[in-house]
A and B are shown apart, each in its own frame.
Chain A
């Protein structure tokens, strides 16, 4: 059996493969050791972490919709202090890449959380969730404002030499402009997409099916949208693009790789099978073997279109 190269290096972070688990869909990595060998996952991205614990939104927080689900969890998380005490030792001991996802409601909070995690040295990289309201700007979402998204990147960049990934929201007119802006501020990669805004109504009661009326749509239903956004961004930046959205199997992941994603994150599919990222990574390896491909990197950006994509592939 030939050895297939599956690894991926992003700055100082070495990942055993290009199939990661997405923030908010895998807890802190320690929820179900019976079901998954976490060390076989390419990178574990933790639930969005804020400075103070967050209770999250009132129920109901989730509803299934065709081919997907809408959630309004409200960034429920244990907060920095408990994270450092209860989760950091486990994460540090993992034999795979760990990415801490940070969400905050002020620039200062982003800085403090990243700074303190940096001191604790319990991860290999950061993913910045910008899809939260900025309390200092009247609750306007950071992620839908290009100058705020750029500013977060600018202030966090000098605080770490580890890879800084900015996670982009698709709920904007031109996601590639946001990608270019964070690239210009020194982000090492962008990941997309976060959830799309969605809504569902109970016709009997005429009430929205989740407590916050609208929420984040995820799952297979969003995959074509996600893929198109990844395509748009791949064409406009030179840093690696991490594809997220509705991936449930190796074939879905391959769509993203072919389009130019350097790695993928699995979200909603973890809820059905927490081992799915490992299965997908194994199946991609098998796909390579079956097709005479020695390195998963050789699949990336091989989309055959009539238009030519000019991607600078220095990061492969």
Chain B
């Protein structure tokens, strides 16, 4: 990991509030693994004070892409960046997704902006010769379904504006009826209520998987102990999302 000042290559607006920010970094593009994140100081002032964590969504040559939703001051400031601006970025951070076992089909499940780590995961799986990826993407409505660089996507919307009418977990659950439990590895990211529903759906079917968690962070590197998630494995009551995660065995954490 390093702290670098990265030039903005391009800021793409994907929806009224969602953006793709492309930054130039030979170092991060060369070392990033799917599921890892960067911690961004959105501007050099005491407001906002702390860095903001974002998954790296994809990489191409010497460029990395972050996909973000404007939810507060930090992301608002990011949405005003222009080519030529430089941004203070710490990364890559955290533990990545691991590749599925031989013969296991990777099933990517994302809710809303939980899609962020999925493009680079799809890309990395393909680099490993794994192309039979199945992706389930859910959101409130079709305007917030971001299928940026995703493959073989099944959509679900709460308002029935695209694809399956209902939650992405319900859609996945129905699909799992047609496959053997031992044949799939689930990769998930999304809001906590969705992840809890997913966890119990998978547990019933004895399907395993990996989940990328989000929580408020200060340092992103293990200095503050501010990002615990309750763990059911080992003797530790809590794991740190930034350092031990953000990717965990989906059945090892209490979300």
Contacts and interface: CB of A to CB of B under 8 A. Distances in A.
Interface of A: 24-27, 31-32, 34-35, 47, 55-56, 58-64, 66-69, 71, 73, 76, 219-220, 248, 268, 270-275
Given A61-B225, A69-B218, 10 more contacts: A24-B225, A27-B222, A27-B223, A31-B221, A32-B221, A34-B1, A56-B225, A60-B215, A62-B218, A64-B50
Contacts of B215: 59-60
Interface string B6-30: 0000000000000000000000000
Interface stretch (B96-104, B181-189, B226-234): B226-234
9 contacts: A27-B223, A34-B2, A71-B224, A220-B46, A270-B219, A271-B218, A271-B223, A272-B41, A273-B3
Tell me whether chain A's interface is mostly helix, strand or loop, or mixed.
Answer: loop
A55 B237 CA distance: 6
Interface centre among B41, B47, B225 (most CB of A within 10 A): B225
Contacts of A56: 225, 228, 238
Contacts, number: 92
Contacts of B51: 271-272
B49 interface: yes
Contacts of B229: 59
Interface of B: 1-3, 41, 46-51, 90, 215-219, 221-230, 236-238
B239 to A, nearest CB: 11
B28 to A, nearest CB: 13
A271 B230 contact: no
B223 A32 contact: yes
Contacts of B223: 25-27, 31-32, 270-271, 274
A135 B227 CA distance: 27
A58 B41 CA distance: 26
A272 B49 contact: yes
B230 A67 contact: no
A273 B221 CA distance: 11
Contacts of A62: 216-218, 224, 226-227
